Amino acid sequence: MAKKAAKKKSVRKKKLKVVQAEAKERVDKIFPILKKTYPDAKIALEFDTPVHLLVAVILSAQCTDVRVNIVTKDLFKKYKNAADFAAADIEVFQQEIRSTGFYKNKAKNIIGAAKAIIEEHGGKVPDTMEELLELPGVGRKTANCILGNAYNTPGITCDTHVIRLSRRLGLSANTDPVKLEYDLMEIVPKKRLGGWTMFSHLIIWHGRNICKARKPDCGNCPIAEFCPSANDPGLW
């Protein structure tokens, strides 16, 4: 039984390597199709300034974008800049964001990040990966989202949709967000067709509309002919 499982695992690894080698060619085929399919693809979170985007992305952890947008509609009227968030009463702020879940940790990170922005960056959300990662509550996914959507700096946002679809499409064998990000950076054009940021939006939109987690609609998928999983669901 153990030998059979090991053999099956070995075959699986070989298949992953083969698809990985063809990943760039696959991206070149699906990127323009997805862009034509979703011409209005953009970030779902609503914001008007970099600091509001930072707050919205932190709130979106383990929470739907719809819920975050409901909460931030009033929140952003009260807290207009980093100084407002830095001066917030943490107990009051916790209740204002409570419905997004994990509100105590999120409140701590948002207020902490705002204070760091005031003290170390003159009130402006930093525009480099290195500086963003030093802020409380900011990881590479959040940083790439801010860079790509607030500063037009190419970045790949590896959320759950990007992780799931990258594997289904045979773009990477990695499910670790950081490793996957680096894999995609090698095969997705950095700027062409909207580059890394647009590719992230398109994959997220496709994941929400067609290639859903439990039951992908392969019959209505515009890129099914280039997807390994469409013909062999057990492969990925």
Active-site residue list: 141, 159
**Torsion on CA atoms 169, 175, 176, 177, rounded to nearest 10:** 40
Query: For residue 140, what are the contacts with CB-CB under 8 A and spacing of at least 6?
Result: 129, 133, 158, 177, 178, 181
**What backbone phi and psi angles, to 5 degrees, belong to 111?**
-65, -40
- Residue 219 tokens read as 């019959």
Task: Please give the distance of CA 157 from its chain centroid, rounded to a whole number.
Answer: 3
Q: How many whole angstroms separate alpha carbon 112 and alpha carbon 103?
A: 14
Q: How many whole angstroms separate alpha carbon 130 and alpha carbon 133?
A: 5
3-class secondary structure, 11: helix
Matching residue, tokens 């500063």: 151
Query: For residue 92, what are the contacts with CB-CB under 8 A and spacing of at least 6?
Result: none
